[in-house]
Amino acid sequence: MKNNIRVERAIKNITQAELAELIGVSRQTINTIESNRYVPSTVLALKIARVFGKPVEDIFSLDNED
Amino acid sequence: MKSRFLFPHWFRYLGLALFLIHIPIVMFKKEMGFNMHDEPVSDHLFNSHHIFFMTTTLLMAIGLFFIAFAKERIEDEQIFKLRLDSLQWAIYVNYILLVVSLILSKDTEHILFLNLLVPLVFFIVRFRWKIFQNNRLINKEEGQA
C-alpha cells in the first residue's frame, strides 16, 4: 500500500511528531507508515485522513503487489 | 488503543531490578554456602538447595517477564504488531532449540532451564532491537533534513 502522508504533511505544514500527537500514536509509527514499513489499521487510516480533511483514498492507495 | 494483559510502564524497571538482583546472588552462591554439585542432595522437596534454586529462578523469570510485558510509553498498534512478531520469533527459536537439545542432550534440568529463559530473552532482545532500528531511522531522517 502506498501513501502520500509526507506530501499532505508538507501541505498542512505539520511535523511527524505533531501528526502523531493529533491521532494518539508514537512518532515512530508515523515514520514507519510514511516509509511503507507498516500498514496502518483502518481505524488509524481513517484518523489520519480526518486530520488532513480528505477521504482515505486520497491519502492511501493500493500498490501493484497488493 | 486499549492494550490488554500488559503491565504498567514502570514494571519494566521493577523487572530490571529483580533480574539484576538475581545475578550477584547466583554468582556468589558458593560463598553463601549453596554449592549444588558438591554435596549430596536430599530428597526432601523444600531443602535449602531447592529453595535457593526456586528463589533465584523465580527472581529471574519474573524479572524477565515484567521487562517483556510492560507497556511502552506510547503503546499503539505498531508496537502491538512488533510485539506479536517478536513473540512469534521467540516461540520459533525456542522450539528449534528445544528440539535440537532434546536430540543432542539428556540433561533435562538444563533443557528446562533453557526453555524457561530463551523465549523471554529472545523476545526482549528482538523487540528492543526493532524499536532501536525504528528510532535510528528517525534520527537518520532528521540528519538529512
Q: CB contact, 8 Å: A32 with chain B?
A: yes
Mutate to test the interface with A, among B2, B72, B78, B130 (most CBs of A within 10 A): B78
> Sorting pLDDT into bands at 50, 70 and 90, what band is A50?
very high
Nearest-angstrom CA–CA distance, A61 and A5: 11
Q: CB contact, 8 Å: A25 with chain B?
A: yes
- B 33-72 near A (Cβ less than 8 A): 72
pTM: 0.86
Per-residue pLDDT tens digits for A20-44: 999 999 999 999 999 999 999 999 9
| Cβ atoms B131, B73 nearer than 8 A | no
Q: Which residue has the cell 538444563?
A: B110
Average pLDDT, chain B: 87
| Partner-chain contact A28 B138, CB within 8 Å | yes
Mean pLDDT of A42-54: 95
Per-residue pLDDT tens digits for B103-124: 998 888 889 888 999 999 999 9
ipTM of model = 0.88
Nearest-angstrom CA–CA distance, B42 and A47: 64
* pLDDT at position B45 over 90: no
Distances (CA, A) of A65 to A1, A9, B7, B87, B107: 8, 25, 38, 27, 49
Nearest-angstrom CA–CA distance, A54 and B52: 63
| Cβ atoms B65, B7 nearer than 8 A | no
Q: CB contact, 8 Å: A15 with chain B?
A: no
Distances (CA, A) of B46 to B42, B50, B66: 9, 6, 26
* pLDDT at position B37 over 60: no
